[in-house]
Chains A and B, each alone.
Chain A
Amino acid sequence: FFMEKWGRKYPAGSLPSQERYQVFLKSLERHRFLNSDARNTSDAHYGINQFSDLSVEEFTNTYLRSHPPRNKDYYVPKKKAFGEKS
C-alpha cells in the first residue's frame, strides 16, 4: 500500500529492498513511541507518510539542512523586541 501510494519501486528480492523494508518497520515502531505521549485529541499524531521508508539519518541528511546563525551578535536583544518600538 505504501509503495503504491507514494510511487516507490524497489528491485524485487534485492538486498536494498530488504533493508528498505526493515527501515519501514522501524518507522512503525517509531510511530508507536511518538503516539504514546498523546493525551488528548488535539495532540500531534504520527504515522505512515512519504518519509516512512527513510531512516532518521537519511531524513536528517536530506531535509534538515538549515542551521542557526554562526554569529548571533546581530540579533536584537530581547528587551528591544519589536513591540517596544511602537
Chain B
Amino acid sequence: LPLQFDWRDKNLVTGVKNQLDCGACWAFSIVGAIESANAISGNPLEDLSVQQVIDCSYLDRGCNGGSTDSALKWLNQTHTKLLRSSEYPFKARTGTCHYFPPTEHGVSINGYEAYDFSNYEEEMMKLLISVGPLAVIVDAVSWQDYLGGIIQHHCSSGHSNHAVLVVGFDKTGDTPYWIVKNSWGTSWGVDGYVHVKMGENVCGIADFVTFPVM
C-alpha cells in the first residue's frame, strides 16, 4: 500500500459543498461517493443532485436527518437516476420529490456494500484505493470548533452522528491520518476538509463504511 493516497490528485472528487442549515449530511456523503465512483468508471466528474436525494429518499427524513445506508438502499431498490445538481439544485430544505422520465440523463448505481472496519483500517485503505471515496458516519460533536490539524481526541466510536466522505490518507508523517471531505463549506477546517488519525478508529471513522457499486 502507498504511504499517501488522495483521490483529489486524480481530479476525481468534486468541490466541497455547504449543507447550510439543512441536516442532510447523509445525502451529501453518498452523493459525493457516487460522483467520484461515476468518474472513476470513466465518466466526466460532475456535481450530482443532493436535493433529489433529500426530497426522494423515502427511507430518510430530508433536512431532518437520515442515513447513508438507507439512502443507498433506496437508490439501489428504485434504480433512480441522479440528475446533475444544476438540473435539480440544492435548496437547503426538504421539498416534494420531482419525477423525471427514465430516459432522462442521470447516474444510477448497481448496488452498494457496507462494512465494519473497526480494528481493520488497513482493509479500509485497500478498499479506498480499489473502489473510490468511502461514505462513513462519525462522531463529530467536537468538530464544531475544528480549525485544522489531525483529530486524535475529543470524539469516540459508538456515538456516530455525522456522515462525511473519506477521500484519501497520508502516512508520511509521525501521525497517519485519513483525509475527509465535509459538507460545511470551504471556510470550515482545512478548506472544507478534516484530518482524522488513522489506526485507532478515532471518531468511529471505520464503524459504518459504505460505497456504491456502479
Contacts and interface: CB of A to CB of B under 8 A. Distances in A.
Contact of B142 (A46, A69, A74, A82): A46
Contacts of A61: 23
Interface residues of A, number: 41
Contacts of A68: 67, 137, 160, 207-208
Given A45-B148, A66-B26, A82 B161 contact: no
Given A27-B145, A44-B149, A46-B145, A83 B70 contact: no
Contacts, number: 148
A75 B118 CA distance: 12
Nearest to B182: A63
A contact patch SS: loop
Contact of A63 (B115, B146, B184): B184
A75 B116 contact: yes
Given A43-B149, A62-B23, A69-B69, A78 B116 contact: yes
Contacts of B207: 68
Contacts of B153: 37, 43-44
Interface core residue of A38, A46, A50, A63 (most chain B CB under 10 Å) = A63
A3 interface: no
Given A37-B154, A54-B144, A66 B149 contact: no
B144 A51 contact: yes
A52 B145 contact: yes
B141 to A, nearest CB: 6
Nearest to A72: B116
Contacts of B149: 38, 41-45
Interface in A22-63: 27, 30-31, 34, 37-38, 40-47, 49-52, 54, 56, 59-63
